[in-house]
Amino acid sequence: MPKTKNTRKAKPDIQFILANERTLLAWIRTGLTLIAGGVAVAFLAADARYGVMVGMGAIIAGGFISMVGYWKYRSADTAVRKGRLPGPGRGELYVVIGVSLFAVILVAVRILSP
């Protein structure tokens, strides 16, 4: 009896797809929280010397975090649908470096301001 090839594609596990979507929502939720905090600081501290700068920095960081989350989502989704593990990526590293630099800049501005 001749062997037949199984030409049916393996379906990706729905649990991984849904977990990836939940992770994307967490990235977006974090970004929205930073954006909302930045708007609050920018408007409440509008007459403070660096309040607007801090608020705008938080808004930009929130947008960046949301974009990183989307890039991670697309990368993981593509890998899962191909039956592979997603690569480690560097998105988290960029977020940590950005937040750390922003913190250092804020401390330096506070120390150097009269």
Three-class DSSP category at 17: helix
The reported pLDDT for the residue numbered 59 is: 92
User: pLDDT above 90 covers what percent of the chain?
Assistant: 35
The reported pLDDT for the residue numbered 105 is: 81
φ/ψ of 11, rounded to 5, equals: -85, 140
Per-residue pLDDT, averaged over 14-36, amounts to 92
The reported pLDDT for the residue numbered 44 is: 86
CB neighbours of residue 69 within 10 Å:
21
Per-residue pLDDT, averaged over 94-107, amounts to 84
Cβ burial of 65 (10 Å; 0-12, 13-18, 19+) is buried
pTM of the model: 0.75
| pLDDT tens digits along 45-78 | 866 777 888 888 889 999 999 999 999 999 999 9
